[in-house]
């Protein structure tokens, strides 16, 4: 791999291991992972439960640190960063979407998206403008003043996506984002992801649903904590 490719990587993993303590001893969850996630990619991660895909997402999203090996986020080596530095990078440059929507049910759609600015240096007017623009982009402007509790599951997930990307992150981490949705809602969410990816946001998505792979540019297959397959579309 040449230096130009490495410099274009948002996530770089080399000899990456992750283990967790247990009463029976250390449990290796990730073993010798070597890969790069490049700017502008839409990457799907497949694998059964316990394969390590969610653990890898947590590392890529700066929610955890590796046990050993090298992990770089946008050329910054994670093991050499303090917890405060990691938190700062995460809140500015990482968006996250999960299977559960984690919305505040009594707040409006707009308020739920504006929450993303709570710990960032934006005044209320600027935050509102950015949130409104993001909701328009994701075709949610008609729901802007609707309480989150009155939304459908697909609408809730699209609001969660808006909240994740309103700060224009370098990467969007999505863990089973369609797991609680019906087919039509899943397609709508994937079309949102595809549109965001075309605007330059790198997406790393774990899924069990192989029918969604057509939206992605690359597929990683994990099994037993190892990367078993890496294929482009």
Q: Is 21 helix (H, G, I), strand (E, B) or coil?
A: coil
Q: pTM for this one?
A: 0.91
Radius of gyration of the CA atoms of the chain, in A: 18
Q: Edge to edge, what strands does the sheet with 68-73 contain?
A: 27-38, 9-20, 68-73, 76-77
What is the distance in angstroms between the CA of the first residue and the CA of the last residue of the chain? 20
Phi, psi of 172 (to 5 degrees): -110, 120
pLDDT at 175: 94
Copy the structure tokens of residue 213.
Answer: 């792979």
Please identify every stretch of the chain with a pLDDT value under 70, giving residue numbers as ranges.
Answer: 1-6
Mean pLDDT for the chain?
92
Domain 3-232 superfamily per CATH: P-loop containing nucleotide triphosphate hydrolases (3.40.50.300)
pLDDT at 4: 44
Closest by CA to 231, choosing from 70, 40, 35, 10, is: 35
Domain coordinates of the chain in residue numbers?
A: 3-232
Closest by CA to 71, choosing from 31, 14, 7, is: 14
pLDDT at 2: 47
pLDDT at 6: 61
């Amino acid at each position: 791999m040449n230096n130009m490719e490495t410099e274009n990587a948002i996530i770089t993993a080399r000899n990456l291991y992750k283990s967790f303590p247990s009463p029976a001893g250390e449990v290796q969850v990730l073993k010798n992972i070597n890969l790069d996630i490049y700017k502008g990619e839409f990457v799907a991660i497949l694998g059964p439960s316990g394969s390590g895909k969610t653990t890898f997402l947590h590392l890529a999203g700066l929610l955890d640190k590796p046990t050993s090996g090298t992990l770089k986020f946008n050329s910054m080596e994670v093991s050499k960063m303090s917890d405060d530095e990691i938190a700062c990078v995460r809140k500015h440059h990482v968006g996250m979407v999960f299977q559960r929507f984690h919305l505040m049910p009594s707040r409006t759609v707009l308020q739920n998206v504006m929450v993303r600015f709570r710990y960032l240096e934006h005044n209320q007017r600027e935050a509102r403008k950015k949130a409104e623009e993001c909701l328009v982009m994701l075709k949610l402007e008609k729901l802007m003043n609707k309480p989150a509790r009155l939304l459908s599951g697909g609408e809730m997930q699209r609001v969660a996506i808006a909240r994740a990307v309103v700060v224009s992150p370098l990467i969007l981490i999505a863990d089973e984002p369609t797991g609680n949705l019906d087919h039509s809602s899943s397609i709508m969410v994937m079309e949102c992801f595809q549109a965001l990816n075309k605007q330059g946001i790198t997406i790393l998505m774990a899924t069990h649903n192989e029918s969604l792979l057509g939206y992605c540019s690359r597929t990683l297959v994990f099994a037993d904590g190892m990367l078993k397959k890496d294929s482009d579309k």
